[in-house]
Amino acid sequence: MYKILMHGCCGAMGHAICRMCRDNEDFTVVAGVDKITECEEYSFPIFASPDECDVDFDVIIDFSNKSAVDAVTKFAMAKGKPIVCCTTALSDETVALLKEASEVIPVFKSANMSVGINVMVELVRQATKALYKDSDIEIIEAHHHRKLDAPSGTAIMIADAAKSAIDEDVEYVYDRHSVNEARKHNQIGISSIRGGNIVGEHEIMFIGDEETVSISHSAKTRDVFARGSLTAAAFVADAKPGMYDMSNVIAKAFED
């Protein structure tokens, strides 16, 4: 059984992961870290900061805030424990710290923990190779009205996948309302929608003169991200130091 330290345990995703662990014999949450240190739903201790944690654990799952990631990463390095970082909109400095940490501990970082969305990303790479020459690429993402960052980290991940399959400079365009000019072919448009309680929807469109090809993913509940996070935790708990993402988990599915 893997013992989890849940960083951000009182957030929406923290609650989803903790609930899933209660029904899973392979995982148990032994402690949490959150600015909220009291929650009747939990039987495990909650600490205000990682450094206060005195409970033994196997792996950290981080679903917190970008301002809290540096502290938990340094804590993971000090303890020599693996970390699954699910927090998005990280600064360049935090990304650099995670890379530094990966030299001494296993670090799993992904903008989206859904296995399905990561399969979509691989499909996007393959589709771009075949369709980009004669198509314009547009990405649309939709999330609940509480989401702070736009575009989503997942939309950028999809755009990066398409860009990696293009042999020329590519420009990301987030806003066209003030641009009075025709669309350039080497642009990838990224549009954001915020409203209601949308968990997460992403679509990439390859738009040609005669046809349009779309690849899309829709998350119905947050459990899909919780399940992916636990899959990542099991993977990284037994891994060597290094930087990993969901592509390492799904790689076998795409082997010839």
List of residues 6+ apart from 106 with CB closer than 8 A? 82, 83, 236, 237, 239, 240, 241, 242, 244
Q: What is the pLDDT of residue 52?
A: 97
Of the candidates 112, 30, 82, the residue with the CA atom closest to the CA atom of residue 236:
82
β-pair type (136-143, 106-109): unpaired
- pLDDT per residue as tens digits for the range 195-234: 999 999 999 999 999 999 999 999 999 899 999 999 999 9
Peptide bond before residue 82 is cis, with ω within 30 degrees of 0: no
Return the active site residues: 143, 147
pLDDT category, 178, cuts 50, 70, 90?
confident
pLDDT tens-digit series, residues 229-251: 999 999 999 999 999 999 888 88
- DSSP assignment, residue 10? T
Q: Note the pTM of the prediction, 2 decimals.
A: 0.81
Full set of structural domains in the chain with CATH: 2-109+222-254 (3.40.50.720), 115-219 (3.30.360.10)
Query: Could you tell me if 96 and 133 are in contact, meaning their C-beta atoms sit under 8 angstroms apart?
Result: no
What confidence tens digit (pLDDT) does each residue in 56-89 have? 999 999 999 999 999 999 999 999 999 999 998 8
Q: What tokens appear for 233 in the block? A: 């935790």
Tell me which residue of 3, 64, 60, 7 sits closest to 33, measured CA to CA: 7
6: confidence class by pLDDT, cuts 50, 70, 90: very high
- Res. 256 pLDDT band, cuts 50 70 90: low
**CA–CA dist 27, 22 (Å, integer):** 8
Q: What is the pLDDT of residues 105-153, one digit of tens each?
A: 999 998 789 999 999 999 999 999 999 999 999 999 999 999 988 999 8
Separation in Å, CA 220 to CA 116, 143, 192, 225: 12, 11, 18, 10
pLDDT digits (tens, 9 = 90+) for 36-51: 999 999 999 999 999 9
